[in-house]
Structure 1
Amino acid sequence: MSLEQLKSDVAELAAFLQQAKGARVKDVLTTAKAAAEREIVNLEMKAKIAAERQANGATDAKRYLHELTDYGWDQSAKFVKLFISLNGVQGCTEENVTVTYTPSSLQLHVRDLQGKDFGLTVNNLLHSINVEKSYRKIKTDMVAIYLKKVKEDEHWDVLTAIQKRLKQKKDSEMSKDGDNPESALVNIMKKMYNDGDSKTKQMIAKAWTESQDKVKLGKETGGDLDSFGDL
């Protein structure tokens, strides 16, 4: 999809979002808008890198861009800090490790690290940052990015607005489950199954099957599970 089409989609989604009233509709529109914005940033970053490579000659043009998704983060009263692990990044020159900031996003670009380029984009930050006072440091096997909070002492529950919405949705679902313990148990088991390894999945599937067999047996005999005692 072209950059112009993506920008048009973002504008249209933003207009719909202003008119939306239902929480579910807002979640869907917000997620779609964030995805389109991420594509825009990625396309712009790739275009920028392509231009730099063309200016620097054929050697740069042969390198592949690896998009980073994993990072850790923390905060102090004045800064939100991101930590991106990259083996050997301390060997890069200062010019080859750049970060582009906007009040609501950041874009890291690491050039020519062991013959590869790396990029990280974070959009829709939870709160605004001070672009002029944000900076980065190159450490051993790590890039640390310091985002200056516009409002000092303001606590960030999460890093992005999308994560905030997802957390609120999850908390809302858990609150509803609190009124229905059986539903809560089912959701917990589903989450454990989806997040677990193959052995965990086998154990959960076995336990679930056995529990369903006991429920069925209890119904057939006209009793409940407690009536069986310890077998």
Structure 2
Amino acid sequence: MSVEELKSIEAEFAALLEQAKSARVKGVLTQAKAEVEREIVNLEIKARLAAERQAGGSTQQAKRYLHELTDYGWDQSPKFVKLFITLNGVQNCTEDAVTVNYTPSSLQLYVRDLNGKDFGITVNNLLHTIDVEKSYRKIKTDMVAIYLKKAQEGQNWDVLTAIQKRLKQKQDSEMSKSGDNPESELVNIMKKMYNEGDSKTKQMIAKAWTEGQEKAKFGKEFGGGLGDLGDL
């Protein structure tokens, strides 16, 4: 599917989101829209790499691959939301090799030819709108700092994205339903996330659960490992 077709689908999801009233419907549409945006970004990056390889024509450039970054830290001030992406040696890149594309609700960082590799990270569905024109980035030692200008200064972002917000609300809601036994409710939440997640999510939950069990004082109650998570 072409980028143009995906952008058309993205526009349809955006229109439906404006009409949706149910929180559940909004959640489904937002997640679907995020997946389409991710596909668009991936296709755009692949097209850019293909163009660079065709223009350069070198064997070294043809062997470069895109490495998707997933970890970042963030903070905020009254005017900006600040993202910090660790990337060893990025200070050695030229200014034009480190680019950030912004939309009012997303950002895409692209680092070209760092030690023979390309790196990228995309954050979609930001919790609130940003001012694209006043957002910028800085290259620091082993780090790229991205400054997202808040469209509404002074607005507090308790999380970075709308998806994280909905997950937090869901967890808080489900935890409140079982106040007498929060540990049991935590198990239920992890079960649900595990059953609904992809392979990477399942690996992360399994690892977190195993490490937690090794340190937990109530290990005997849960039987250790993932045993009490049933048929995850």
**TM-score, normalized by length of structure 2?**
0.77
What CA RMSD, in Å, does the superposition of the two structures yield over aligned residues?
A: 2.7
Q: 1:95-174, aligned counterparts within 5 Å?
A: 95-174=96-175
SS in 2 for 1:125: coil
- Structure 1 residue ranges without an equivalent (≥5): 211-231
Partner deviation per Cα, 1:83-116 (whole Å, 9 max, x = no partner): 0001111111111111111111111111111110
Shift, 1:53, TM fit: 2.8
| Aligned equivalent of 1:55 | 55
SS in 2 for 1:24: helix
Asked if 1:35 corresponds to 2:35, the answer is yes
Separation (CA, whole Å) in 1 of partners of 2:17 and 2:212 = 43
Identical-residue share of aligned pairs (%): 69
Distance change >3 Å, CA 136–CA 15, structure 1 → 2:
closer
Which of 206, 213, 227 is the equivalent residue of 1:200?
213
Separation (CA, whole Å) in 1 of partners of 2:99 and 2:11 = 29
Q: Is contact 1:89–1:142 with CA below 8 Å preserved after alignment?
A: yes
Shift, 1:206, TM fit: 4.0
SS in 2 for 1:171: helix
| Aligned equivalent of 1:67 | 68
Separation (CA, whole Å) in 2 of partners of 1:129 and 1:17 = 19
Which of 186, 189, 194 is the equivalent residue of 1:188?
186
Separation (CA, whole Å) in 1 of partners of 2:4 and 2:121 = 22
Separation (CA, whole Å) in 1 of partners of 2:47 and 2:24 = 35
Count of aligned pairs: 207
Separation (CA, whole Å) in 1 of partners of 2:16 and 2:149 = 31
Q: Is contact 2:175–2:185 with CA below 8 Å preserved after alignment?
A: no
| Aligned equivalent of 1:78 | 79
Larger Rg computed on CA atoms = 1
**TM-score, normalized by length of structure 1?**
0.78
Partner deviation per Cα, 1:131-190 (whole Å, 9 max, x = no partner): 121111111111111111111111111111111122222222122223xx24x3312245
- Structure 2 residue ranges without an equivalent (≥5): 192-204, 225-232
Shift, 1:69, TM fit: 1.0
- The answer to which of 3-12 and 42-51 deviates more is 3-12
Amino acid at match of 1:200: Q
